[in-house]
Amino acid sequence: MERITLFCFGASYAVALALELAQLLWPRAVQRLLAALFAGAGLLAHTLFLAVQRPPLRDPYGSLLFLAWILAVFYLYGSIHHRRVAWGIFVLPVLLGVIILAALSGRPFDNVSEGWNLFSLDAEALWRILHITFFILASVGICVAFVASVMYLVQARRLREKALPSQGLRLLSLERLEEMNRRAITWAFPLLTAGLLVGMVQMWYGGDGLHEWTDPRILATIILWLVFAIVLYLRYGYHLRGRRVALLTIMAFALLLLTLVTQHSFTAGGAR
Amino acid sequence: MMLLVVGCSHRTAPVELRERAAFDQDRLGHALDNLVARYGCEAVIVSTCNRVEFYLARPDALVALDAERIAEFLAEFHELSAAKLVPYLYEYRGPKAVGHLFRVAASLDSMIVGEGQIAGQVKRAYEVAHERGTVGPILHLLFQHAQQAAKRVRRETGIARGHASVSSAAVEYVRQVFDHFGGKTILVIGAGKMGELTLRHLRDLRPQGIWVTNRSAEKANAVAAACGGKALPWVQLDEALAKADIVLSTTGATEPIMTLERYEKIRARRSGPVVILDIAVPRDFDPRIHDGDRTCLFNIDDLKRIREQTLQDRLKHVPSAEAILADEERRFLKEWSRRKHGPVIARLTQDLEAKRQAIVQQLLARLNGRFTTQDRTYIEGAFRLLQNQFLHGPISALTEEAHESGSHTLLEALRKLFRLQD
């Protein structure tokens, strides 16, 4: 089990993506099935990797890998429920991108015991886990909103060009994609807010002073929160719909990536 | 078995002739009774707008029956000239007739390949004949097998995939934009004939409401009454357009009713996306209003492109469908051969078995005491082998001849040669 590496599941997801791309050129039902099988094998290896090696979630490495794990579950769910839709073409690149970012961010030098051990948590650790969990769940929402937005833009482009429905990519309807985007950002925003608030409370009681507020990750998160607040305000206040909301969501996703790869200055280089 | 198909279809006869040769439901039964009484055969008549075909079968030869006799029958029944009918009729016998019915039922012989109606029409033709008592064991097995073959083709190939009509293709575009239709409103502008068919397909989506507007309030009321919708005054067109989710425009206007400038004002009032199906010629909507996001406008040419693509895609599946039908034809002939030859082969085997056993018993009785048990077993085995080798030839010949209409003669020959009694 300890020999499972990031490459093992990353390669499985990459093969699944290659099969999804091949499906576009030479449509065969077996290819999509094989893609799901490879992704399933990757998810199993990914799960074992997280369970055995327990990378710390407060570092980009651990949080990105956990986010990737949820995206893998999301891909498998979608490929089962929307078998005829080119789901993997949109989800798997995001999933692989997150894994690559995790690899690039480098594995922290934490030992295993610094990971998750629910039975030996003090109050501070509990607050920290709550903060991270809210943030990762919000990240999942943003990723889903991003995937829905990209699919929306592609579908809108196909409709603008009046592409034949039976040819090329099979996608969900504009209505369904808009709904998926709406739900994802509506769920992500409160989670992001909660994550941010828990982080603030933690910092306040940690007594480390206000200098931590200029931490790059906190600043990036606050900007992300502001962008989301604007998206929601435009969505519900000004009834902004369609392509413009999709573009704003993509912008929010870019900010999320920035936030995820940025390490807290006060935790960089070791456990706090 | 003798099986014969005589008929005319869209491939061989003009619509004027097909119309005159067709049988309505009332006269179909009478025609079937007549055929059976006259020729003493099993009969099924497939009569649709694209074909009129007679499927006739008898356990013995149908030598006297051919296209000319059927032309005479048709001419007499419909008061037509037999000589004028004959050039348009085709005739298939034996395995070719089986293959023809399978192709018809699987809609490979249809005007629009892969259309779904013909399978039901073939089934209905069989049911009518069955109720009338004109179907015997041959046509019963044949039509049952044809229905199974048609189902297999539809299941295993993409021959029936996609929308083959302009009106149903419209739904395919609508589904690219919307997913749920329970809360959607359809606005019908105008009262064109083409619109009726498209509206029928849109109604299948079960929208919340249908609004109909027309310059003539009378026509709007008529269309609304026919589709269970609500008629709106023509002056409310802009207001309705600002609220409707799907718009079907089929007016006979010579100028566009919706210019870009007029629509921009409506667009500003809209909240959700709208799909506009402008199937009027000349077009009712300015094509510049299409943005592929909030307003999706499709005209008659866009819908025709889907139809043409569907038909092209279906043609790609014809070779695999033909292969399935060839396989089904083989299976049918094998099954029929088994049913037909089974009793004869069983009788022949029993007969030779009895003779072999009698001879072996006689031989062993005469040479009693001279053979060991092993010798007796060897002699019995040798005689059994001789019997099997002797039977192999006639049985193989019967099976091989099943694909040809001459197997009946071979069967008779076997009966006479071996003096087999029924």
Confidence of residue A271 (pLDDT cuts 50, 70, 90): very low
Mutation for testing the A interface, residue in B155, B176, B277, B316 having most A CBs under 10 Å: B176
Show the low-confidence residues of chain B (pLDDT under 50). Answer: none
Give B107→chain A minimum CA distance, Å: 22
B49 in active site: yes
Beta-carbon contacts below 8 Å between A and B: 65
Q: Which pLDDT score is estimated for B98?
A: 94
Among the listed residues B336, B339, B340, B386, the one whose alpha carbon sits nearest the alpha carbon of residue B360: B386
pTM of the model: 0.70
**B162 contacts A174? CB cut-off 8 A:** no
Give A243→chain B minimum CA distance, Å: 7
* pLDDT digit string, tens, across residues A125-135: 778 888 888 88
Distance CA A156, CA A160 (A): 6
CB B280 within 8 A of CB B250: yes
Domain containing residue A209: 137-265
Among the listed residues A156, A198, A205, A207, the one whose alpha carbon sits nearest the alpha carbon of residue A177: A156
Contacts of B308 in chain A (CB under 8 A): none
As for the ipTM of the complex, it is 0.78
Residue A64 dihedral angles phi and psi, to the nearest 5°: -65, -40
Q: Which pLDDT score is estimated for A109?
A: 54
Please name the residue that has the structure tokens 């099993």: B42
Q: What letter represents residue B130's amino acid?
A: H
Contacts of A162 in chain B (CB under 8 A): 290, 292, 298, 302, 305
Same domain? For A29 and A76 the reply is: yes
Q: Which pLDDT score is estimated for A207?
A: 61
Asked, for residue A116, whether it belongs to a domain, the answer is no
**A243 contacts B173? CB cut-off 8 A:** no
Report the domain count for chain A: 2
Contacts of A155 in chain B (CB under 8 A): 176
Asked, for residue A272, whether it belongs to a domain, the answer is no
Q: How many residues does chain A have?
A: 272
Q: Which pLDDT score is estimated for B419?
A: 74
CA distances from B175 to A179, B38, B300 (A): 15, 55, 17
Q: What letter represents residue A240's amino acid?
A: L
Mutation for testing the A interface, residue in B156, B157, B174, B179 having most A CBs under 10 Å: B179
Nearest to A242 among B162, B294, B309 (CB): B294
> Does B282 sit behind a cis peptide bond, omega within 30 degrees of 0 on the bond before it?
yes
Task: Give percent of chain A with pLDDT exceeding 70.
Answer: 86
First to last CA, chain A: 28
* pLDDT digit string, tens, across residues A138-196: 888 988 999 999 999 999 999 999 888 877 788 899 999 999 998 998 888 999 899 88
Asked, for residue A113, whether it belongs to a domain, the answer is no
CA distances from B313 to A21, B32, B115, B325 (A): 21, 39, 13, 19
Q: Which pLDDT score is estimated for B101?
A: 96
Distance CA B348, CA B395 (A): 10
Q: Which pLDDT score is estimated for A272?
A: 33
Same domain? For A41 and A100 the reply is: yes
Same domain? For A214 and A159 the reply is: yes
Same domain? For A144 and A256 the reply is: yes
Same domain? For A4 and A103 the reply is: yes
* pLDDT digit string, tens, across residues A33-42: 899 899 999 9
- Higher-confidence position of A263 and A242: A242
Residue A208 has pLDDT above 70, yes or no: no
Same domain? For A62 and A182 the reply is: no
Where do the H-state alpha helices sit in A87-241?
88-105, 123-160, 174-206, 216-232
The helix (run of H) or strand (run of E) holding residue B18 is helix B15-21
CB A138 within 8 A of CB A195: yes
Same domain? For A56 and A160 the reply is: no
Mean predicted confidence (pLDDT) in A90-119 = 73
Contacts of B173 in chain A (CB under 8 A): 165
Please name the residue that has the structure tokens 């192709």: B103
CA distances from B41 to A35, B8, B74, B129, B333 (A): 57, 20, 17, 12, 19
Please tell me which residue of chain A has the smallest CA distance to B169. Answer: A165
